[in-house]
Amino acid sequence: MELVKVNIEVFGTFDGILSAGNGTISISSNGILADIELVGNLSHNMSGKVSAVGNISIGYNMSGKVSSIGNVSVGYNMSGKVSSIGNIFIGYNMAGKVSSIGNISIGYNMSGKVSSIGNNSIGYNMSGKVSSGSRVTVFNDITFTLKGGF
């Protein structure tokens, strides 16, 4: 299993979706591993957790969190948030929200909504919907897609 590409959907906050071979790994803007979607039959370990999907193994750390998916490792920081998936590192701001994915910075406004991705600024109207900024921004094979607002 090889980490191929990253897609980020933004709606004030965002979910990060990483394409990995024949599936995806999703994290929330708060650094929680939200979903693993792979193709294949499930195998379970003695604890009842999924240990493999098809021929892709899933490993767990001592805390019971996913630590690997195939040969893609998942790292966590001291707060229990995802700090890396494969060779993509994830940073956090003082509010605990994702502030960087790889070398791409993510800024937030006073309302806690995403205000910038890299050098792309995002504006909101009085209703809180996206009113300015590119709805699709690509940096280093990472795609950020804005949702909401017209």
**pLDDT score, position 76:** 92
The highest-confidence range among 28-37, 101-110, 126-135, by mean pLDDT, is 101-110
* pLDDT digits 0-9 by tens, 37-93: 777 787 888 887 888 888 888 888 988 888 988 888 899 999 888 899 888 888 999
DSSP code string of 84-147: EETTEEEEE-TTSSEEEETTEEEEE-TTSSEEEETTEE-EE-TTS-EEES-SEEEETTEEEEE-
Average pLDDT, rounded, for the chain: 76
pLDDT tens, position by position, 129-142: 777 766 676 666 66
CB atoms within 10 A of CB 5: 12
The b/e string for 46-62 (b: 16+ C-beta within 10 A; e otherwise) is eeeeeebbeebebebee
Q: Over 70: is that where the pLDDT of 146 sits?
A: no
User: Is residue 149 very low, low, confident or very high in pLDDT (cuts 50, 70, 90)?
Assistant: very low
